[in-house]
Structure 1
Amino acid sequence: MSTPPAHDGPLGHGLLLLELDGAGSHPAAWRVSRTAPASLLAPEHLRGAVLAAESAGFHAVTFSDPGLPDPDHPHPDHPHPDPLGPDAAARLNALQRAAFAGPVTRSLALIPEVDTVYTEPFHISTQLASLDYVSGGRAGWLVAASPSAADAAAVGRDTARGERLSREAADSIEVSRRLWDSWEDDAVIRDVPTGRYLDVDKLHYIDAETGSYSVKGPSIIPRPPQGQLPVLAPAGLLPPEAVAAGAADALLVSAPTPELLAAELGATRAGLAAGGTGPALIAELDVVLDSRGQAAAERLDRLNGHAAWQSRRARFVGTAAELTELLAEVLAWADGVRLHPAVLETDLEELSRLVLPELRRRGLLAPTTPDATFREQLGLARPASRYAAVTAGTTAPGREN
C-alpha cells in the first residue's frame, strides 16, 4: 500500500468491528463448526459469541439480516448460500439478537442490520431507540436497502431498485432521525402532585414530507440515550447529497482485494473532502486464518468444496502475523475495519489470541471503555434535539464531531 494522505477523520485510533453471523460468514461454516447446527439459534451460542468478542477487545459487533432469499438479487454477504446449511433456512432477526446481547455486554457497540425500504421508519426508529435503552447507549444502525422482489412481496408493495432504492433509504434515515428528535430530552417529568407524566410541550410533530414518506409524529417512546444513534451505511448506497447532509456517521468501504482497499478508501475520502469533515470510513474484510496446524488456504479449500464464498469484500487468507501487518496498513487509511470471519469460533480464537493483542500493543486501536456510548467511541458529541433548539429560538445543531 502507498503512503496514506493526511486526513481529519473523527477518530484518533482505529475501531475493530466483528460480524456475528451464524456459524461464520462462509456459507459452509456450519459444516466445520464445533457448534452443533441445532445450537446456532440457541441463546447460549449468541451469549458466548458476544462475550468472546468483548473479551477479545472488539469495539462493536454487527448482526446480519439477509431477509427472504431472492435468487435474482441475493444478499451481498450470501450470494450463493449452502442449500443444506441451517443459516439458509433459519435466521433470527438481527435487531432481536442485538437486543438480547444488550444486557449481557458492557463495552461492545451493538449494530443490527435493518432494512430501510420494506420496514416503515416509524417502526425502525422506535425499535432502534429501544435497543439503545436496553444497551445503555451502545446501539447503532447498519443500514440495508433490499432490492429483493421476495422482500417486497412479503409486505405487499412493488420492488424498489436503482436511484429509487437509494432515495428511499435516505428518506427512511431522515424520518427516523427526526422521530428520535421528536421528544426533547427532558420531556418525561413524572410530576406526581399534578399527575403529569409528560410535558406535552416537549413532544413535537415532525411533519416529515419526503418523496417516500409522510409522517406526522411524534415517536411513541422517549428520545434514545444517545439522542441520535450512529448510522452506518455501505459506501455508494446513499445519494451523495444525503451523505453530505449527515445521513450516515460511518461508511463501509469494500474492494475486490486487500491490495485495492487503500485506493478505494482514498477515493472515498477524496469524494467526501469537498463537504468538510465527513463520516468515518470503515473497511470491510473477509478473514480466513491459519488455525490449529491447518493452513488458511487449506481451510478455505475445504469450505469451498461445499459451497462457494462469493462475497463482494476483500479477502485475507493467511497467518495471524500477516493479517496484523495488513490491518496496521489499512488502519492508516481507515477509521476502522469490520472483520467477517469465515468460521466464527475458529477465526475469532486466532484473532483474540494473536491479532488484537499485537495491534493494541502497537497503539493502533482505540481503548475499550465499559459503558461508553457508541457515539463516544466514534468521537461524536451528543446532539441536541432539533425541535428543542427551534423552540428555544436557536439554530438546531446537525452532526457534531
Structure 2
Amino acid sequence: MSAPNKSYDPVEVEALKPEEIDRVRDEALAAFAAAASLDALREAKVAHVGDRSPLALANREIGALPPQARADAGKRVGQARGAVNKALAARQAELEAERDERVLVEEAVDVTLPYDRVPPGARHPLTTLSERIEDIFVAMGYEVAEGPEVETEWFNFDALNIGPDHPARSTRDTFFVEGAAGGPDLVLRTETSSVQIRSMLERTPPIYVICPGRVYRSDELDATHSPVFHQVELLAIDEGLTMADLKGTLDHMVRSLFGEGVHTRLRPHYFPFTEPSAEMDMLCFRCRGESAGNPDRPCRTCSSEGWVELGGCGVVNPKVLTACGVDPEKYSGFAFGFGIERLLMFRHNVEDIRDMIEGDVRFTRPFGMEI
C-alpha cells in the first residue's frame, strides 16, 4: 500500500476507478446468482467477499488517498460492498429454503407404513417362567427372598449339614473364590439353599419364602448341562408342618403351572439338609401318564415313563434348624428346589440348554411377551 500523497490522483488507481468497482460488483452479483447450492455459494463468498476479494483490496487503497479524495472513493466502494453483501444474504436465504423443502420431501417418514416392520423382541422365557412361579407362591402368602451369589462356605455347606468331606465341597463340583486374607473361604453358591439359611437367621418363625436365583456348578457346557443356571427353592417353617403339607404344596404348584389333573409323587432319597428326603416327580402333563407301558402312544416329554422328575424335597433337618437358631422342638418345616432351565426344557420341548444362553432372538421371540 502506498503512503499518503497530496498529488495522488485516484483516477489513476485502477482498483478505485468507478467502472472497475462496478465491474467487480457485477461479477460478484452474477456469481451469487449462478450458485446452485450452498457449497457453491460459500466458494463464491470467499472469492467476492473474503479478505482477498477485489472489493476488499480496493477498500485498502482508500487509506492512501489525500483527504479530499477519500470520501468519494469510500462512498463508491461502500455502496458496492453493501450491494454485494445484500445479494449474498438474499441468495443464501433462497438456497436454504430450497434445501429445507428438499429435505422434507427426501427424508419424509411415511406414517402409513406397517408399524411392525421391525419385529418386536420378547422377554427371556427363563425370566417369565421364574416370575410365574414366584406369583404362584406370593399368592399363597410366601415372600421372595434374595441373597448374594458369592457365599461363605458356612452358608453354602456347613449350615446345611454338608460335612467337610462331602464330595460337593471339592473343586470338581464347586467354584471357589479367593477371599480376603484371614477371612472365610468363599464360593459361588451351588444352590439357593444359602438364601434359606439367611432367611431363617433374619426372620422369626413362621417363615414362608421362595428363593429364585442364579447358581454355579463345575459342569461342562453341553446340551443338558451348564456351569451357570437358575434355581427356585422354597422354605416353610412353622409349627406342625409335615410331609403332607409339602405334598399339598407341590400338587398346587404343578396344577398352577400345567393345569388341572396333574399331580406329584415322592420317591425316597437322601439329602443332608432334609430328613426325611425325597425326589419329586410330576405326572407328565402331555400324555397324563398314558404313555407308560403303551408302545402305541410314545411321549417325548416323559420318554414314555408317565412321570417327569422335578427336583428334591423333604422335611428340614433339625440340625439345619439348630444351626440357624430355630428351635426344632417347637418348629418344623419343609423345603424343595428345582432348576428353571430343566422345567423350561420339558415344558416347551427345548432340546439344547445352550439355546437359552446364546442370546439369539430367534429363540426368545416365539415365547412372546408376558405382563
Question: Which TM-score bucket, shorter chain as reference?
Answer: under 0.3
Structure 2 length as normaliser, TM-score? 0.21
Q: Which has the higher contact order (CA 8 A, sep 6+)?
A: 1
Task: Give 1 or 2: higher helix fraction.
Answer: 2
Rg (Cα) greater in structure: 2
Structure 1 length as normaliser, TM-score? 0.20
